[in-house]
Amino acid sequence: MAIIRVHVVPNAKIDKVVGELATASPSRGGHGGGIKMKLRAPAVEGKANAALIAFLAERLKVPTRTIVLLRGQKSRDKLLRINGLDEEDAQSRLLC
């Protein structure tokens, strides 16, 4: 089971993984070592969350039901659990 932090930028031109962010805590202007992602979906009525889960499932090659949004339903900073993968495997698949 992998737990990953993600920083989402909605309303982008394309869906893509930008890369890892600074490891500073959010109170110090960082994103806690999360992975920055740009999504085309707007941040209204959960559309960006649904797009994020679909994008991650495709990128990680796992079913959408294995990805659970733990925190950040209304925030750009999100915490996700991915069942069936460990953290190293999930990050390597996302950042390749």
Confidence of residue 90 (pLDDT cuts 50, 70, 90): confident
Report the predicted TM-score, pTM, of the whole model to 2 decimal places. Answer: 0.83
At 51 the pLDDT is: 94
Neighbours of 43 (CB within 10 A): 17
At 91 the pLDDT is: 85
How many residues comprise the chain? 96
pLDDT in tens, 4-36: 999 999 999 999 998 876 555 555 555 456 889
| Token representation of residue 95 | 């950042």
> What Rg, from alpha-carbon coordinates, does the chain have?
12
Residue 23 CA to residue 82 CA, distance in Å, equals 21
pLDDT in tens, 29-77: 554 568 899 999 998 888 999 999 999 999 999 999 999 999 999 999 9
- Order of strands, sheet of 2-9, starting from the edge strand that comes earlier in the sequence: 16-20, 35-38, 2-9, 77-82, 67-71
At 92 the pLDDT is: 85
